[in-house]
Amino acid sequence: MPDLTLDGRALHVAAGTSVAAALALGGDGSSRTSVSGQRRAPLCGMGVCQECRVTIDGQRRLACQTLCRDGMHVETRP
């Protein structure tokens, strides 16, 4: 049962939860902000659209292709 932070807020999720699912469980579901300032969210769920890019422990990752781990820090805002 991983404990992580999402934009600085503590979040507890079930084992096997993807970061994309955690975005929906612990926030508004959005993953990033586009260059025009619009919030974006996971779309395809299978690693194709790239809309789910987030920063995890300082590295850009696809939320739909990453499982939550204990101690992970997920950021959706610059």
The distance of closest approach from Cβ of residue 30 to ligand FES in the complex, given in angstroms and rounded to an integer, is 12
The distance of closest approach from Cβ of residue 41 to ligand FES in the complex, given in angstroms and rounded to an integer, is 8
Residue count of the chain: 78
Q: Give the residue carrying structure tokens 């990033």.
A: 32
The distance of closest approach from Cβ of residue 12 to ligand FES in the complex, given in angstroms and rounded to an integer, is 23
**3-state SS assignment for residue 22:** helix
Q: Give the residue carrying structure tokens 């974006």.
A: 40
| Phi, psi for 9 (deg, rounded to 5) | -100, 140
Region 1-60 residues binding ligand FES, contact defined as CB under 6 A: 42-45, 47-52
Interface ranges with ligand FES (CB under 6 A): 42-45, 47-52, 62, 64
